[in-house]
Structure 1
Amino acid sequence: MTEFVLVAGAWLGSWAWDEVVPELRAAGHGTHPVTLTGLADKQGAPAGQQTHVQDIVDEVERHDLRDVVLVGHSYSGIPVGQAAERIGDRLARVVFVDSRVPTDGESFASAWWQGRETFEATVAGNDGFWAPLTAADYDSQGLTAEQISRIVGGSTPHPGATLTEPAALTRPLSELPATYIKCLLDGPEPSDDVAELLTSKHWRLVEMDTGHWPMFSQPHELAQILHRSAVES
């Protein structure tokens, strides 16, 4: 039985996987949706990037999970990518869902399209948090009005230190067995760093014709891709 550890992106908690989890369980898999420190029902607790990495490692070790597929969406690809190399032979595969990937010594803010300093100033101006998106920001992402309302209603401010602290890797990410899911409504091509990783024999690309939040817009299709990733591992 494959054990899926599911980690949603910025502003979200374990609840983001509510429509994916039943399908994975029906296929015979274990599921462990994670809420990272400082988010959702864990608001108020201080968190840096390594806190989030440890949240994921702790979930695996606390339940003594084996044959683990770590799934990281959006921001969470960064801590998931680091956790993947720390759980050793417990890992079967990593699945990055339209996500960032960690680069040793670099942070989420490092690759911000307006520049690191602009992003850090935005966080500093919001009491150290990254403010959630508004409903208008989810336009053209394949989401219904009801789905957008659910995401916006459940989102909580994201701890800024998790976005500005650098990642720490001990070996090349290209050596990990990985699937990268590119959501085409959020851009037709992977970022340059992901494109380079996809040249590795250990990585494969899967495309979804939906937006950046497929666990809401296409949960059935996403669950099928995750199931196939377990079979291939």
Structure 2
Amino acid sequence: MAEFVLVAGAWLGSWAWAEVVPPLRAAGHGAHPLTLSGLADKRGLPAGQQTHVQDIVDEVERHDLREVVLVGHSYSGIPVGQAAERIGDRLARVVFVDSNVPADGESFVSPWPEGRAAVEASIAANGGFWAPPATADYTGQGLTEGQVARIVGGSTPHPGATLTEPAVLRRPLGELPTTYVKCLLDGERPSPDVAELLAAGERWRLVTMDTGHWPMFSRPRELARILLEATGTVAL
């Protein structure tokens, strides 16, 4: 039995996985959707990037989880990738869902020169937080109007320090057993850093989804099937 720890990206909380959790549990696995500090139901808690890493490690240790599959979506791939090496032999696999991945000494905004200024301006203008996107920003991502309304209605400002602080890795990310899920409506190819990791060895595997950047809303059952297949479980 695998234990899935599910971490959504910027602005979101554990609620984002509501339609992914039931199929995982129905297949006999544990599913632990996690809200990171400063977001959703944990809004108001101070948070830097290492706080988010520790949130994930604490979830694993608090429940004494084994055979852990850490799932990181979008921004949360950065703390998930760091937490993965820190939970040691508890880890079974990492699944990055259309996500950023950590690089030692680099932040979320480091490799994003065209967007960094906009993110930093938003943080400065919003009391240290990155403001959530507007409804129009979800156009072309395979989402229904209802799904967009759920995302927009549930989103909370994202703690800015988590985006600008550097990641800390103690070993090469390519050594981790990893599945990378690329959502094709958000770009046909993985980012250059992910492509390099995929090409470097046999521990990284690429899976594609014909949907947008938020597949837990647009294709939750398909995403659940991919997560189960990543563990070697029979697909739904």
TM interval, shorter chain, is over 0.9
1:112 Cα deviation after fit? 2.1
Give the corresponding residue for 2:22. 22
The count of corresponding residues between Structure 1 and Structure 2 is: 232
Question: How far apart in 2 are the matches of 1:116 and 1:223?
Answer: 32
Secondary structure (helix, strand or coil) at the match of 2:230 reads: helix
Question: How far apart in 1 are the matches of 2:48 and 2:230?
Answer: 30
Task: Please say if residues 9 and 76 of structure 1, whose CA atoms lie closer than 8 Å, have aligned partners that are also in contact.
Answer: yes
Secondary structure (helix, strand or coil) at the match of 1:95 reads: strand
- Residue identity in the other structure for 1:34: L
Question: How far apart in 2 are the matches of 1:119 and 1:13?
Answer: 20
Determine what percentage of the aligned residue pairs are the same residue: 77
1:207 Cα deviation after fit? 0.2
Give the corresponding residue for 1:213. 214
Question: How far apart in 2 are the matches of 1:107 and 1:146?
Answer: 33
**What do residues 102-125 of structure 1 show as CA deviations (whole Å, max 9, x unaligned)?**
000000011224254453233112
Task: Please say if residues 112 and 119 of structure 1, whose CA atoms lie closer than 8 Å, have aligned partners that are also in contact.
Answer: no
Give the corresponding residue for 2:97. 97
- Residue identity in the other structure for 1:26: A
Matched, 1:155 2:189: no
**What do residues 24-44 of structure 1 show as CA deviations (whole Å, max 9, x unaligned)?**
000111000000000001001
Q: 1:149 to 1:116 in 2, by over 3 A?
A: closer
Question: How far apart in 2 are the matches of 1:203 and 1:215?
Answer: 22
Question: How far apart in 2 are the matches of 1:34 and 1:192?
Answer: 28
Question: How far apart in 1 are the matches of 2:11 and 2:77?
Answer: 14
Question: How far apart in 2 are the matches of 1:227 and 1:119?
Answer: 34
What is the correspondence of 1:42-191 to structure 2 with a 5 Å cutoff? 42-114=42-114, 116-191=116-191
- Residue identity in the other structure for 2:207: V
TM-score (norm 1): 0.98
RMSD of the alignment, in Å?
1.0
Deviating beyond 4 angstroms after TM superposition, the runs of 4 or more aligned structure 1 residues are none
Question: How far apart in 2 are the matches of 1:185 and 1:166?
Answer: 29
Give the corresponding residue for 1:228. 229
